[in-house]
Amino acid sequence: MIYITNGEKLRDALIDFPDRIRNRVLRKSVKAGCDVAGEMLKNKLPQRTGATFQSIASKVKLYRYACWGGVGPESGFIKIYRGEKHQPSKTFHLIERGFTTRNGRYVPGMNVIPQISNSPQIETAVLETMETEVKSIWAKG
C-alpha cells in the first residue's frame, strides 16, 4: 500500500475542479505511479524474459473519495510453453513468498512488493504528474 504524504496542496487544488476533471487528473497521476512501480517490479524479477515478465500490468480504479492503483501479473494473460498453458497470475505468489519443492527443499521468496511500495520514486511520479496536470488545466482556464 502506498500513501502519498506530501499531496495536501495538490489535493486542495483538486477540490475546486469538477468531478470529471478531478478524476482525469487522479487517474493519470496514479497511472504514472503504477508505471514506475511496474518497471521496478520487472527489474526485480529473477528472469527478465518469460511469461511473468510479459504479464506485469497495472490497473487504476476510481472511487468517490479514493483512488486505487495496483501492479502485478495480468489475470487473463496465458502463454503456451512447451505445449502447456502457463498463467503467471496463478504462480506469482510462489515467486513472491517462496515455496517448498517436491523433494522438500525450501526456495525462499523475493518479497519484492513491500520493497517497491516503500519507494519514494512512486510518490514523486504521482505528485509530479498531478502537478503538471493541474497546471495545464489552470492554464486552459
Question: Phi, psi at residue 103, to the nearest 5°?
Answer: -90, 10
Question: Where do the structural domains in the chain lie, given as residue ranges?
Answer: 8-140
Contact 34, 109 (CB under 8 A): no
Residue 36 has pLDDT above 90, yes or no: yes
More confident residue, 74 or 10: 74
Q: Is the pLDDT of residue 33 over 60?
A: yes
Q: What predicted TM-score, i.e. pTM, was given to this entire model? A: 0.85
Confidence of residue 119 (pLDDT cuts 50, 70, 90): confident
Rg of the chain over CA atoms, in angstroms? Answer: 18
In the DSSP assignment, the letter for residue 38 is H
At residue 59, the pLDDT reads 92
Question: Which strand (E) or helix (H) includes residue 62?
Answer: strand 56-62
How much is the pLDDT for 15? 81
The mean pLDDT of 38-50, rounded to a whole number, is 87
Question: What is the per-residue pLDDT across 73-117, written as a single tens digit (0 to 9) for each?
Answer: 999 999 998 999 999 999 999 989 999 999 999 999 989 888 888
d(CA 14, CA 29): 12
Q: How confident is residue 7, by pLDDT bands cut at 50, 70 and 90?
A: low
Residue among 22, 59, 52 at smallest CA distance from 37: 59
Residue 5 pLDDT level (bands cut at 50, 70, 90): low
Structure-block grid coordinates of residue 95: 515467486
Q: What percent of the chain has pLDDT over 70?
A: 92
Cell numbers at residue 65, please? 473519495
CB atoms within 10 A of CB 74: 15
Most confident by average pLDDT, 7-16, 70-79, 117-126 = 70-79
